[in-house]
Protein backbone atom coordinates (compact mmCIF):
# COMPACT_ATOMS: atom_id res chain seq x y z
CA UNK A 1 0.00 0.00 0.00
CA UNK A 2 2.81 2.36 0.90
CA UNK A 3 3.96 2.66 -2.68
CA UNK A 4 0.51 3.78 -3.78
CA UNK A 5 0.37 6.84 -1.56
CA UNK A 6 0.48 10.00 -3.64
CA UNK A 7 1.01 13.45 -2.26
CA UNK A 8 0.14 16.67 -4.04
CA UNK A 9 1.39 20.11 -3.05
CA UNK A 10 -1.55 22.47 -3.48
CA UNK A 11 -1.44 26.24 -3.85
CA UNK A 12 -4.28 28.58 -2.92
CA UNK A 13 -6.56 28.77 -5.94
CA UNK A 14 -5.65 25.31 -7.30
CA UNK A 15 -8.67 23.17 -8.13
CA UNK A 16 -8.75 20.37 -5.59
CA UNK A 17 -10.31 17.05 -6.52
CA UNK A 18 -11.24 14.01 -4.49
CA UNK A 19 -8.76 11.95 -6.47
CA UNK A 20 -7.22 9.96 -3.63
CA UNK A 21 -4.11 12.13 -3.38
CA UNK A 22 -3.04 13.49 -0.01
CA UNK A 23 -2.88 17.28 -0.24
CA UNK A 24 0.06 19.19 1.22
CA UNK A 25 -0.98 22.74 2.09
CA UNK A 26 0.92 26.01 2.56
CA UNK A 27 0.71 28.93 5.00
CA UNK A 28 -2.43 30.53 3.48
CA UNK A 29 -4.29 27.25 3.90
CA UNK A 30 -3.16 26.98 7.53
CA UNK A 31 -4.57 30.47 8.07
CA UNK A 32 -7.88 29.45 6.45
CA UNK A 33 -8.12 26.32 8.60
CA UNK A 34 -7.25 28.27 11.73
CA UNK A 35 -10.26 30.53 11.16
CA UNK A 36 -12.69 27.74 10.27
CA UNK A 37 -11.44 25.59 13.14
CA UNK A 38 -11.72 28.44 15.59
CA UNK A 39 -15.33 29.05 14.61
CA UNK A 40 -16.13 25.36 15.10
CA UNK A 41 -14.56 25.50 18.56
CA UNK A 42 -16.39 28.70 19.48
CA UNK A 43 -19.71 27.13 18.47
CA UNK A 44 -19.01 24.06 20.62
CA UNK A 45 -18.01 26.35 23.51
CA UNK A 46 -21.17 28.44 23.19
CA UNK A 47 -23.41 25.34 23.26
CA UNK A 48 -22.32 24.36 26.77
CA UNK A 49 -25.04 26.27 28.72
CA UNK A 50 -27.77 25.02 26.36
CA UNK A 51 -27.09 21.32 26.69
CA UNK A 52 -29.53 20.69 29.54
CA UNK A 53 -32.45 18.37 30.31
CA UNK A 54 -35.55 19.47 28.40
CA UNK A 55 -33.77 20.83 25.34
CA UNK A 56 -34.38 19.09 22.01
CA UNK A 57 -31.67 18.15 19.55
CA UNK A 58 -33.57 20.22 16.99
CA UNK A 59 -33.12 23.31 19.18
CA UNK A 60 -29.39 22.58 19.39
CA UNK A 61 -29.31 22.30 15.61
CA UNK A 62 -31.04 25.69 15.28
CA UNK A 63 -28.42 27.26 17.58
CA UNK A 64 -25.58 25.71 15.57
CA UNK A 65 -27.05 27.02 12.31
CA UNK A 66 -27.48 30.55 13.72
CA UNK A 67 -23.98 30.66 15.18
CA UNK A 68 -22.46 29.26 11.99
CA UNK A 69 -24.20 31.86 9.82
CA UNK A 70 -23.39 34.64 12.32
CA UNK A 71 -19.75 33.62 12.00
CA UNK A 72 -19.90 34.15 8.24
CA UNK A 73 -19.88 30.43 7.48
CA UNK A 74 -22.36 27.81 6.29
CA UNK A 75 -22.90 24.39 7.89
CA UNK A 76 -21.12 21.96 5.58
CA UNK A 77 -23.52 19.18 6.58
CA UNK A 78 -26.59 20.97 5.14
CA UNK A 79 -27.34 19.22 1.88
CA UNK A 80 -24.33 16.93 2.27
CA UNK A 81 -25.41 13.64 0.66
CA UNK A 82 -28.98 14.55 1.52
CA UNK A 83 -28.35 15.39 5.18
CA UNK A 84 -30.63 18.33 6.07
CA UNK A 85 -29.18 19.61 9.32
CA UNK A 86 -26.45 21.88 10.67
CA UNK A 87 -24.84 19.36 13.01
CA UNK A 88 -25.03 15.76 14.17
CA UNK A 89 -26.41 14.98 17.62
CA UNK A 90 -25.53 11.49 18.79
CA UNK A 91 -27.01 10.42 22.13
CA UNK A 92 -26.02 7.44 24.32
CA UNK A 93 -25.87 4.31 22.12
CA UNK A 94 -25.69 6.40 18.94
CA UNK A 95 -22.13 6.19 17.60
CA UNK A 96 -22.36 9.06 15.12
CA UNK A 97 -24.50 10.95 12.56
CA UNK A 98 -27.50 11.24 14.89
CA UNK A 99 -30.15 13.41 13.18
CA UNK A 100 -31.37 16.45 15.15
CA UNK A 101 -35.11 16.51 15.77
CA UNK A 102 -37.73 16.14 18.50
CA UNK A 103 -35.65 14.04 20.89
CA UNK A 104 -35.63 15.75 24.30
CA UNK A 105 -32.42 15.58 26.32
CA UNK A 106 -32.92 13.90 29.64
CA UNK A 107 -30.97 13.63 32.87
CA UNK A 108 -28.16 11.10 32.52
CA UNK A 109 -27.78 11.30 28.73
CA UNK A 110 -24.41 11.72 27.06
CA UNK A 111 -24.42 13.49 23.71
CA UNK A 112 -21.88 14.17 20.99
CA UNK A 113 -22.39 17.35 18.97
CA UNK A 114 -20.44 17.45 15.70
CA UNK A 115 -20.20 20.72 13.77
CA UNK A 116 -18.49 21.65 10.50
CA UNK A 117 -18.62 25.33 9.57
CA UNK A 118 -17.44 25.99 6.01
CA UNK A 119 -15.72 29.37 6.25
CA UNK A 120 -14.15 31.11 3.24
CA UNK A 121 -13.90 27.70 1.57
CA UNK A 122 -12.27 25.87 4.50
CA UNK A 123 -13.87 23.16 6.66
CA UNK A 124 -13.51 23.21 10.45
CA UNK A 125 -14.72 19.81 11.66
CA UNK A 126 -14.95 19.13 15.39
CA UNK A 127 -17.07 17.36 17.96
CA UNK A 128 -17.24 17.05 21.72
CA UNK A 129 -19.19 15.10 24.28
CA UNK A 130 -21.57 16.85 26.70
CA UNK A 131 -23.07 15.46 29.91
CA UNK A 132 -26.78 16.08 30.50
CA UNK A 133 -27.51 16.56 34.20
CA UNK A 134 -26.22 13.78 36.45
CA UNK A 135 -24.40 11.15 34.43
CA UNK A 136 -23.42 7.77 35.93
CA UNK A 137 -19.71 7.20 36.56
CA UNK A 138 -19.45 4.42 33.93
CA UNK A 139 -20.54 6.83 31.22
CA UNK A 140 -18.32 9.63 32.49
CA UNK A 141 -15.31 7.31 32.42
CA UNK A 142 -16.10 6.34 28.83
CA UNK A 143 -16.21 10.03 27.90
CA UNK A 144 -12.90 10.70 29.69
CA UNK A 145 -11.09 7.80 28.07
CA UNK A 146 -12.47 8.72 24.63
CA UNK A 147 -11.02 12.21 25.03
CA UNK A 148 -7.71 10.65 26.08
CA UNK A 149 -7.86 8.46 22.95
CA UNK A 150 -8.18 11.55 20.75
CA UNK A 151 -5.30 13.36 22.45
CA UNK A 152 -3.05 10.27 22.48
CA UNK A 153 -3.74 9.95 18.76
CA UNK A 154 -2.84 13.60 18.22
CA UNK A 155 0.45 13.09 20.11
CA UNK A 156 1.50 10.70 17.34
CA UNK A 157 0.80 13.25 14.61
CA UNK A 158 4.18 14.55 13.49
CA UNK A 159 6.34 14.43 10.37
CA UNK A 160 7.95 11.06 9.75
CA UNK A 161 5.37 9.12 11.75
CA UNK A 162 2.92 6.91 9.89
CA UNK A 163 -0.84 7.21 9.89
CA UNK A 164 -1.11 3.77 11.52
CA UNK A 165 0.76 5.06 14.56
CA UNK A 166 -2.29 7.17 15.38
CA UNK A 167 -4.76 4.30 15.19
CA UNK A 168 -2.42 1.99 17.08
CA UNK A 169 -2.11 4.42 19.99
CA UNK A 170 -5.87 4.99 20.12
CA UNK A 171 -6.70 1.29 19.92
CA UNK A 172 -4.21 0.37 22.61
CA UNK A 173 -5.57 2.95 25.01
CA UNK A 174 -9.24 2.07 24.40
CA UNK A 175 -8.69 -1.68 24.66
CA UNK A 176 -6.68 -1.28 27.85
CA UNK A 177 -9.99 -0.09 29.31
CA UNK A 178 -11.87 -2.96 27.61
CA UNK A 179 -13.69 -0.60 25.30
CA UNK A 180 -14.44 -1.29 21.63
CA UNK A 181 -13.05 0.88 18.82
CA UNK A 182 -15.58 1.45 16.02
CA UNK A 183 -14.16 0.36 12.64
CA UNK A 184 -16.91 1.51 10.25
CA UNK A 185 -16.13 5.24 10.39
CA UNK A 186 -12.78 7.01 10.13
CA UNK A 187 -11.15 10.37 10.40
CA UNK A 188 -10.42 11.98 7.04
CA UNK A 189 -8.39 14.47 5.16
CA UNK A 190 -10.11 17.83 4.86
CA UNK A 191 -9.50 21.41 3.81
CA UNK A 192 -11.28 22.83 0.78
CA UNK A 193 -12.94 19.39 0.68
CA UNK A 194 -15.03 18.04 3.59
CA UNK A 195 -14.00 14.40 3.25
CA UNK A 196 -10.77 13.69 1.41
CA UNK A 197 -7.85 11.25 1.50
CA UNK A 198 -6.39 9.86 3.68
CA UNK A 199 -8.72 7.67 5.72
CA UNK A 200 -7.64 8.00 9.34
CA UNK A 201 -8.53 4.68 10.97
CA UNK A 202 -8.72 4.51 14.76
CA UNK A 203 -7.49 0.93 15.07
CA UNK A 204 -4.29 0.05 13.24
CA UNK A 205 -0.79 -1.38 13.44
CA UNK A 206 2.00 1.02 14.30
CA UNK A 207 4.41 1.67 11.44
CA UNK A 208 1.79 1.09 8.72
CA UNK A 209 0.04 3.50 6.37
CA UNK A 210 1.14 6.70 4.68
CA UNK A 211 3.94 8.78 6.13
CA UNK A 212 2.84 12.04 7.74
CA UNK A 213 4.25 15.12 6.02
CA UNK A 214 4.08 18.84 6.83
CA UNK A 215 1.04 20.45 5.24
CA UNK A 216 -1.31 17.45 5.64
CA UNK A 217 -4.72 18.34 7.10
CA UNK A 218 -6.94 15.66 8.59
CA UNK A 219 -9.36 14.87 11.40
CA UNK A 220 -8.96 12.37 14.20
CA UNK A 221 -12.36 11.36 15.56
CA UNK A 222 -12.32 8.10 17.52
CA UNK A 223 -15.68 6.49 18.31
CA UNK A 224 -15.34 4.31 21.39
CA UNK A 225 -17.98 1.88 22.68
CA UNK A 226 -18.47 0.83 26.27
CA UNK A 227 -19.15 -2.66 24.91
CA UNK A 228 -18.21 -4.43 21.69
CA UNK A 229 -17.03 -2.46 18.64
CA UNK A 230 -19.90 -3.53 16.36
CA UNK A 231 -22.17 -1.02 14.58
CA UNK A 232 -25.72 -1.21 13.24
CA UNK A 233 -27.19 1.34 10.84
CA UNK A 234 -30.78 2.41 11.51
CA UNK A 235 -33.34 2.49 8.69
CA UNK A 236 -32.93 6.26 8.26
CA UNK A 237 -29.57 5.47 6.65
CA UNK A 238 -27.68 7.89 8.91
CA UNK A 239 -28.00 6.96 12.58
CA UNK A 240 -25.24 4.52 13.50
CA UNK A 241 -25.81 2.72 16.82
CA UNK A 242 -23.80 0.20 18.77
CA UNK A 243 -24.81 -3.33 17.80
CA UNK A 244 -24.96 -4.34 21.47
CA UNK A 245 -26.73 -1.06 22.39
CA UNK A 246 -23.90 -0.09 24.76
CA UNK A 247 -22.98 3.58 25.17
CA UNK A 248 -20.64 5.20 22.65
CA UNK A 249 -18.56 8.38 22.84
CA UNK A 250 -16.57 10.48 20.35
CA UNK A 251 -14.37 13.57 20.20
CA UNK A 252 -13.01 15.10 17.01
CA UNK A 253 -10.33 17.64 16.15
CA UNK A 254 -9.11 18.96 12.79
CA UNK A 255 -5.32 19.18 12.71
CA UNK A 256 -2.50 20.19 10.38
CA UNK A 257 0.94 18.57 10.31
CA UNK A 258 3.70 21.14 10.86
CA UNK A 259 7.50 20.88 10.59
CA UNK A 260 7.75 19.88 14.25
CA UNK A 261 4.45 18.22 15.14
CA UNK A 262 0.92 19.35 14.55
CA UNK A 263 -1.40 22.28 15.03
CA UNK A 264 -4.90 21.68 16.41
CA UNK A 265 -7.22 23.98 14.48
CA UNK A 266 -10.30 23.29 16.62
CA UNK A 267 -8.99 23.69 20.17
CA UNK A 268 -11.43 25.38 22.59
CA UNK A 269 -10.48 29.05 23.14
CA UNK A 270 -12.25 28.84 26.50
CA UNK A 271 -10.48 25.69 27.67
CA UNK A 272 -13.70 23.65 27.46
CA UNK A 273 -11.86 20.60 26.20
CA UNK A 274 -13.91 17.86 27.86
CA UNK A 275 -16.67 17.60 30.45
CA UNK A 276 -17.40 18.69 33.10
CA UNK A 277 -17.49 22.13 31.47
Q: In the complex with ligand MF3, which residue's Cβ is closer, 91 or 135?
A: 91
Write out the binding residues for Co ion, residues 244-263 only, by CB under 5 A.
252
Does 125 bind Co ion (CB under 5 A)? Our answer is yes
Residue 265: C-alpha distances to residues 44, 55, 220 (Å): 13, 29, 12
Question: According to CB under 5 A, which one of 146, 219, 266, 268 is a site residue for Co ion?
Answer: 219
CA 128, distance to chain mean position in Å, is 8
Q: What are the residues facing 188 on neighbouring strands?
A: 199
Q: Which residues bind ligand MF3 (CB under 6 A)?
A: 77, 80-81, 83, 88, 97, 114, 116, 125, 221, 238, 252
- For 269, the 3-state DSSP assignment is coil
Closer of 179 and 218 to ligand MF3 (Cβ): 218
Q: Please, are residues 37 and 124 in contact by the beta-carbon 8 Å criterion? A: yes
Residues, the chain: 277
Would you say 114 and 96 are in contact if contact means Cβ atoms under 8 Å apart?
Answer: yes
Residue whose CB is less far from ligand MF3, 135 or 256: 256
Contact partner, 88, from Co ion, ligand MF3, none, Cβ < 5-8 Å per class: ligand MF3
What does 30 bind: ligand MF3, Co ion, none (CB cut-off 5 to 8 Å by kind)?
none
Find which of Co ion, ligand MF3, none residue 277 binds, CB within 5 to 8 Å per kind.
Answer: none
- CB 196, min distance to ligand MF3, A: 11
114 touches Co ion (CB under 5 A): yes
Binds 42: which of Co ion, ligand MF3, none (CB < 5-8 Å by kind)? none
C-beta closer to Co ion: residue 114 or 196: 114
Q: At what angle do helices 163-176 and 137-155 cross, to 10 degrees?
A: 160
Contacts of 74 (CB under 8 A, 6+ apart): 68, 117, 118
Neighbours of 228 (CB within 10 A): 12
Amino acid sequence: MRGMTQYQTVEDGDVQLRDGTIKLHGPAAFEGMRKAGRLAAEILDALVPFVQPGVTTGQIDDLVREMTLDGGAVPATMGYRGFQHSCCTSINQVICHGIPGDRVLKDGDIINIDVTPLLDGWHGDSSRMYLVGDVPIKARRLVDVTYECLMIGIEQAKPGARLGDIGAAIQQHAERHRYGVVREFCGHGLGRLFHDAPEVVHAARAGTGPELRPGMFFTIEPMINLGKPGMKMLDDGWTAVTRDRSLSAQFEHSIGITETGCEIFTESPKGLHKPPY
